[in-house]
């Protein structure tokens, strides 16, 4: 089953959503309101995203932009006086951390619950995913036959000794991936997997996801673990320094024969201190409209959560895949234990 096909059951009418956004009585009631958005997103397409919302509702957006952890700490420091209405971040681990710190409050919305798949939102309604990225195997096409690739677990096989490139265990993307393996395999098997993976490292972990597939293209290793959007960014920008990577790197979606490929989210929720709750919920609902989904996906070469919206061509070329249906809250809550396992395995 394709990535899009797995989500069709969660659709709602985009026409109905558009009509809701255009209701004159609501626009008049909310005109001149200001929504305080704490966001770690910083993409050019977001300008149009916010402009369109303001034009549809009359609600202006005041952005506070910073790294996810810095925003969380800011909200904690501001306490009950925080002006934050909506918090948006990347990785379920960070979003769930905000939820566990009671910085978010539950939202009941038929639009959000019908358009965001159940595994990409908090079961208690504290946060919702708005775009996704897959954590995949990227391989040097000159050195690896994709027929030899299969699962995340198989990367711990001795046949890959000296061939694996991946960033540090301190990176939350790796913690979430390991958290998903932990949910599927249990602690003992996950630690054995992590030890096997470490034994196969081509070099000590360093750099970001992009550095891993660039190193694979340059021959420092054969296989990189990376989020899809990093290669998508390189394809879109088409910079001279990435031409080798674009030509040499292939993308493989692991675990298609069992649970599916690990996917993580960009998402957010309603802040616990919001003084503009109705406007904030309206904004969250807007983010799952077809037009907003296109802006969110294209801004960082990610997959939309609403299956009526096609992924950007930069990552659409990788093909369709079956995603892991594990609820994002599960692997997010596994992050701390996952890091302990990775540390014990020598994954630095």
In the chain, what are the domain boundaries? 5-131+265-317, 133-261+332-344
Q: What is the pLDDT tens value at each position of the chain, 348 positions in all?
A: 444 443 333 333 333 344 334 333 333 334 569 999 999 988 877 888 999 999 999 999 999 999 999 999 999 999 999 999 999 999 999 999 999 999 999 999 999 999 999 999 999 999 999 999 999 999 999 999 999 999 999 999 999 999 999 999 999 999 999 999 999 999 999 999 999 999 999 999 999 999 999 999 999 999 999 999 999 999 999 999 899 999 999 999 999 999 999 999 999 999 999 999 999 999 999 999 999 999 999 999 999 999 899 999 999 999 999 999 999 999 999 999 999 999 999 999
Could you tell me the pTM of the whole model? 0.89
Please tell me the CATH superfamily of domain 5-131+265-317, with its number.
Periplasmic binding protein-like II (3.40.190.10)
Listed in sequence order, the residues at least 6 apart from 140 whose beta carbon sits closer than 8 Å to its beta carbon are 216, 217, 219, 221, 222, 223, 248, 249, 250
Q: Do domains 5-131+265-317 and 133-261+332-344 have the same CATH topology?
A: yes
Listed in sequence order, the residues at least 6 apart from 162 whose beta carbon sits closer than 8 Å to its beta carbon are 200, 201, 202, 221
Strand runs labelled E in 168-286? 223-227, 249-252, 263-271
- Token pair of 250 as six digits: 């292939």
Cα angle value 212/224/120 (rounded, 5°)? 100
**Please, are residues 308 and 4 in contact by the beta-carbon 8 Å criterion?**
no
Query: What is the DSSP secondary structure assignment for residue 80, as one 8-state letter?
Result: G
- What pLDDT was estimated at residue 32? 66
Using N-to-C axis directions, what is the helix angle for 277-286 and 45-57, rounded to 10°? 130
**Please, are residues 119 and 325 in contact by the beta-carbon 8 Å criterion?**
yes
- Token pair of 296 as six digits: 């969110």
Domain 133-261+332-344 has CATH 3.40.190.10: yes
Name the burial class of residue 64, with classes exposed (0-12), middle (13-18) and buried (19+) by CB atoms within 10 angstroms of its CB.
middle
Using N-to-C axis directions, what is the helix angle for 187-199 and 335-344, rounded to 10°? 50
**Nearest one of 77, 39, 52 to 269, comparing CA atoms:** 39
Name the burial class of residue 122, with classes exposed (0-12), middle (13-18) and buried (19+) by CB atoms within 10 angstroms of its CB.
buried
Q: Which helix (H) or strand (E) segment is 299 a member of?
A: helix 290-300
**3-state DSSP assignment of residue 306:** coil
Give Dmax over CA atoms of the chain in angstroms.
65
CA–centroid distance for 138 within its chain: 18
Cα angle value 38/315/161 (rounded, 5°)? 100
């Amino acid at each position: 089953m394709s990535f899009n096909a797995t989500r069709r059951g969660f659709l709602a009418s985009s026409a109905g959503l558009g009509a809701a956004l255009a209701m004159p009585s609501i626009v008049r009631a909310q005109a001149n309101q200001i929504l305080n958005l704490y966001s770690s997103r910083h993409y050019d397409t977001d300008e149009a995203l916010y402009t369109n919302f303001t034009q549809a509702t009359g609600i202006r957006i005041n952005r506070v932009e910073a790294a996810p952890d810095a925003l969380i700490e800011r909200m904690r420091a501001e306490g009950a006086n925080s002006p934050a209405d909506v918090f948006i971040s990347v990785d379920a681990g960070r979003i769930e951390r905000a939820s566990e710190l009671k910085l978010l409050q539950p939202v009941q919305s038929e639009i959000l619950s019908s358009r965001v798949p159940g595994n990409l939102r908090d079961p208690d309604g504290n946060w919702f995913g708005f775009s996704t990225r897959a954590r995949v195997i990227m391989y040097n096409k000159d050195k690896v036959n994709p027929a030899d690739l299969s699962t995340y677990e198989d990367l711990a096989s001795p046949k890959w000794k000296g061939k694996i490139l991946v960033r540090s265990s301190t990176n939350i993307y790796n913690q979430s991936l390991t958290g998903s393996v932990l949910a599927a395999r249990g602690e003992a098997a996950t630690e054995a997997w992590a030890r096997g993976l470490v034994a196969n490292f081509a070099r000590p972990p360093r750099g970001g996801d992009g550095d891993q597939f660039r190193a694979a293209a340059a021959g420092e290793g054969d296989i990189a673990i990376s989020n899809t959007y990093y290669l998508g960014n390189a394809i879109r920008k088409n910079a001279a320094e990435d031409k080798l990577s674009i030509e040499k790197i292939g993308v493989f979606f692991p675990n298609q024969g069992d649970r599916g490929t690990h996917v993580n989210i960009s998402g957010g929720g309603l802040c616990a201190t919001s003084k503009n709750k109705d406007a904030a919920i309206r904004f969250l609902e807007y983010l799952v409209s077809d037009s907003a989904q296109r802006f969110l996906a294209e801004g960082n070469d990610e997959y939309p959560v609403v299956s009526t919206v096609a992924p950007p061509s930069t990552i659409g070329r990788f093909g369709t895949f079956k995603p892991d249906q594990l609820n994002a809250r599960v692997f997010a809550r596994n992050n701390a234990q996952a890091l302990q396992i990775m540390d014990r395995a020598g994954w630095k």
